Amino acid sequence: MPMLRGRPAVTHTRTRTHTHMSSVSGSSSAAGPREVELVLVKEQNGVQFTSSSLRNPGAHSHTHTHTHTHPSGQQRETWGKKIDFLLSVIGFAVDLANVWRFPYLCYKNGGGAFLVPYLLFMVIAGMPLFYMELALGQYNREGAAGVWKICPIFKGVGFTVILISLYVGSYYNVIIAWALFYLFSSFSGELPWIHCNNTWNSPNCSDPNATLLNDTYKTTPALEYFERGVLHVHESSGIDDLGAPRWQLTACLAVVIVVLYFSLWKGVKTSGKVVWITATMPYVVLTVLLLRGVTLPGAIDGIKAYLSVDFLRLYDAQVWIEAATQICFSLGVGFGVLIAFSSYNKFSNNCYRDAIITSSINSLTSFFSGFVIFSFLGYMSQKHNVALDKVATDGPGLVFIIYPEAIATLPGSSVWAVIFFIMLLTLGIDSAMGGMESVITGLIDEFKFLHKHRELFTLFIVVSTFLISLICVTNGGIYVFTLLDHFAAGTSILFGVLIEAIGIAWFYGVDRFSDDIEEMIGQRPGLYWRLCWKFVSPCFLLFMVVVSFATFNPPKYGSYYFPTWATMVGWCLSISSMIMVPLYAFYKFCSLPGSFCDKLAYAITPETDHHLVERGEVRQFTLHHWLVV
């Protein structure tokens, strides 16, 4: 147990250490003096213990810390600097969706009025869940699966989030590969998406200077470059006609994988340095693009449309649902990344302050990027003399079709294109690093023998994702990409966070969780946070899970509707991660000894308290445990 801000450890800390030691050494009389010895060591060196044991009771007492040392005897590394951790969390949470999703949602759902439900859900669900994951990882110092020693029956949810991160990683890298392809294409005297005289263009291609957006049959060179020049969708009839991987995109994907590997292979010591570039670069570029954007004709109209307040839209349930969904996915809760990152923190790090800072920066970035996007969209709508809603879109189409087209009309367009795609690369790469780190830390902490082979295991994980990603760079790869995007992290991630919140707030107990936080940062979470963890956030998440089922739409890409078998495959993918929760719970329950009540008691009691179960003291079997906040 840690010293609270340099003060001697509190009494309950000593008793817990005492019981643990006596159970190890086998004689409580011998444990007494040694326990005092340990406390002295703590007070002299400020070493922080999460639990202590004696290895060699006969000889000199040998302390074994879980805080900087792992149960396997390996040192638990920590971040080089505090800022490495903050930049990693910000870099992970701020991703491409902040640029291509939030501004469009804001514009579509009543402009400034959309901020009302967005900020409400941020405060009652986003921030509390963000704080909960950071505290959980930092206290238990394990990855997404290992932290569930606090309530063993829920360990399946750790495997759920690790699987989801693996699925998402396998297609997220493809977006970064597209950005890299565009970046290489931008190093040319004339950008390749300006004219219709390229080998990939169709007869429907029309010069962008014509008022083409009114004509349904005409397409822009930028659209054709993305779909025909980069993806080669026209060479595939659908998801059942994929073809071989395109070598250009495969090469870009390989570069992305190599960068990911060398960012992650040494753990947080390397990734913590990479984020100095990848997490800060987008802000520099967004600022430069904004300064350029606001000088364009029509830019102010675009920004006005982005911010125009229409409170009547708040009567529409869909607006609230979209705000809630955006909060759930934009903060990156439920991927196991925040748990993995914070597990490398120093034990006494103020995770409360970190949660507030990083989640606020994430939302401010989304809002800020809206000005950058809509200044250019306003310019496009004036240039083509069409309504703004004709050019406003979201998703990959915004950053790979509309924005490049706007950039192509500027003087020095190649330079602007290079700057823009560097921003997309840096936005993507640190989010991909976070997802991979969640998988690597989660599995390494669960299967201790992997600790010695971190570099090999990291190689295995990134190569595996590369091989899966190859399906997404075929001619019909965009269909696989759309399917994965639709199912890999939709309902399943909401379900994962719901189970996580229930496991911590109800089974482990909000009061116990608050004790842990007080032990780390010296102050107990306020009543507001405890109420959110116990009631508000679980209800919010349950509502979101129900809504995601109720509003389910089958996936489609443009005018292509997926066959029924593809949708079934998608659901199987979604269920494959969720099923880990009941499967592991069933396995855990069956593997425990004793009667039904004994099994249940062991399954829902923290592993450190199993000696209490033997004495028949099970907190979860008392009414007080369930009622206390």
User: DSSP class of residue 452?
Assistant: G
Question: Pseudo-torsion of CA 409, 410, 413, 418, nearest 10°?
Answer: -110
- Number of C-alpha atoms within 13 angstroms, CB side, residue 339? 31
Q: Are strands 556-557 and 560-561 parallel, antiparallel or unpaired?
A: antiparallel
Contact 161, 332 (CB under 8 A): no
> Is 58 flagged in the annotation as binding?
no
> Is 94 flagged in the annotation as binding?
yes
> Is 548 flagged in the annotation as binding?
no
Cα–Cα nearest to 14, from 366, 519, 518, 506? 519
For residue 396, CA distances in Å to 223, 315, 346 come to: 11, 29, 38
- Number of C-alpha atoms within 13 angstroms, CB side, residue 299? 16
> Is 98 flagged in the annotation as binding?
yes
Pull the structure tokens for residue 141: 């110092």
CA–CA separation, 377 vs 382, rounded Å? 9
User: HEC states along 203-243?
Assistant: CCECCCCCCCCCCCCCECHHHHHHHHHHCCHHHCCECCECC
Pull the structure tokens for residue 421: 């795609």
Contact 335, 415 (CB under 8 A): no
Contact 177, 256 (CB under 8 A): yes
> Is 427 flagged in the annotation as binding?
yes
CA 344 vs. chain centroid, Å, equals 17
User: DSSP class of residue 561?
Assistant: E
Element spanning 557, H or E: strand 556-557
CA–CA separation, 330 vs 76, rounded Å? 29
Cα–Cα nearest to 511, from 540, 537, 531, 541? 531
In total, the chain counts a number of residues equal to 629
CA–CA separation, 432 vs 216, rounded Å? 37
Element spanning 584, H or E: helix 580-591
Pull the structure tokens for residue 99: 């640029």
Other beta carbons less than 10 A from residue 357's beta carbon: 14
- DSSP state letters, 489-528: TSHHHHHHHHHHHHIIIIIIIHHHHHHHHHHHHSSPPPHH
Cα–Cα nearest to 506, from 182, 177, 154? 154
> Is 430 flagged in the annotation as binding?
yes
CA–CA separation, 165 vs 330, rounded Å? 14
Contact 134, 520 (CB under 8 A): no
Contact 310, 110 (CB under 8 A): yes
Ramachandran sector of residue 387 (left: φ over 0; alpha: ψ -120 to 50; beta: rest): beta
> Is 362 flagged in the annotation as binding?
yes
CB crowding 216-228: b at 16 or more within 10 Å, else e: eeebbbbbbbbbb
Return binding residues: 91, 93-94, 98, 330, 362, 427, 430-431
Return binding residues for Na(+): 91, 93-94, 98, 330, 362, 427, 430-431
